[in-house]
Amino acid sequence: MNPLSNLLNTFTSAYKSVDAASRTSASSPNAASAAVTGQDEKAPGADSLTLSSTAVELSQKTSYAAPYFPTRANMSASALMMAVANPGLVSSSKGLSFADVATAARKSLDDKYAQMKASGSPYDANSPEGRDTNSLLGDLDRRSLYAISSNQGGLFTKDEQDAAANAMSQQISLAIGIYKGPSSQAGNFVDPYAGNDAARLNAALSFLTSVSPEERNSTTWLQQRLAVENGIASIKNPAADNKIPATLFEVLAQTSDEPDADDEDPTQIKAGIANNTTAAKAPTINPTKTSAG
């Protein structure tokens, strides 16, 4: 495995937020609109054709991510899936201060625990393919997940923090073409960036740039962005000394305390899996034209 592949794997396995802030959850009548346009409402005079194209692309990416977030029957992981295509999308945290985001997230988790218990089948952290965990977190946008993973307000258990951090890792992994999801779906995954490291790193940079302000203020985010920028620089100028510092590699190699992939673990990570006979075609992803300079 080349150094870039090592960087990408350690980068995605290390999504553990360490800085706190604030978060919430609450249904919004504008949630459907936000799912298409992200954090910003449609600007007056905006190009409807452009918005339509964006909506189609987001829909394709969200649908493509669906098999990788299985849930209980009659429960949804829509917010988890949508963040793969648009990590800045707000739904559960829309219009809330970060402190309120945490309070709302706490309520959302408690409501889901109660719902599962009332069904006669209480929440099981070791459910097959992570179905219960996806169901538990399924209505929370990435900003809400960050509030949980960073234990905003001290409202969340260690297991809840780890579950949220793992979901965030899965989102960015899928967004940049590194598989993380149920073992049963690994053979159906197509890496849209296979053979194009520059596009993969630009996708990673775009993803990081789009997350919530609170997440962007974390030390982990800053270190990850630096790693990606250095990777982009090394591709642009291979002769330059753009090596990642050893200390940064150690930070990126930290795990979220989730167990390694095995028969009981709901996820596994694979880079660049492409199955030409059974895999569904991945949606076309056009990396944001960003560069680290």
Cα separation, 78 vs 113, whole angstroms: 18
CA distance 257 to 282: 30
Least confident of 60-74, 102-116, 239-253, 257-271: 257-271
Give the least confident one: 80-94, 112-126, 255-269.
Answer: 255-269
Q: Which residue type occupies 192?
A: P
Of 290 and 8, the one with more pLDDT: 8
The predicted pLDDT at position 209 comes to 96
| pLDDT exceeds cutoff 60 at 33 | no
Taking residues 171-196, what's their average pLDDT? 92
Residue 271 pairs in a beta bridge with 178
For 220, the token pair is 């982990």
pTM above 0.75, yes or no: no
- pLDDT tens-digit map of 148-170: 999 999 999 999 999 999 999 99
Are the beta carbons of 200 and 177 closer than 8 angstroms? yes
- Closest-CA residue to 211 (of 200, 230, 224, 197): 224
Note the pLDDT of residue 19. 39
288 pLDDT higher than 80: no
Q: Is 49's pLDDT higher than 90?
A: no
Q: How high is the pLDDT of residue 108?
A: 98
pLDDT exceeds 90 at position 239: no
8 A C-beta contact, residue 174 and residue 267: no
> Does residue 235 have a pLDDT over 80?
yes
**What does the pLDDT look like over 116-134, one tens digit per residue?**
999 999 999 999 999 999 9
Q: What pLDDT was estimated at residue 64? A: 76
- Whether 52 has a pLDDT exceeding 80, the answer reads no
Helices (H), 78-218: 78-85, 98-118, 131-137, 142-149, 158-175, 197-210, 213-216
End-to-end Cα distance, the chain: 27
The lowest-confidence range among 41-45, 132-136, 143-147, 155-159 is 41-45
Which of 5-14, 126-135, 142-151 has the weakest average pLDDT? 5-14
Pick from 14-23, 54-63, 235-244: least confident: 14-23
Which residue did the predictor score with more confidence, 187 or 261?
187
pLDDT tens, residue by residue, 199-230 = 999 999 999 999 999 999 999 899 889 989 98
- What percent of the chain lies above the pLDDT cut of 90? 53
Q: Quick one: pLDDT at residue 65? A: 87
For all residues of the chain together, what is the average pLDDT?
Answer: 74
> Is the model's pLDDT at 4 over the cut of 60?
no
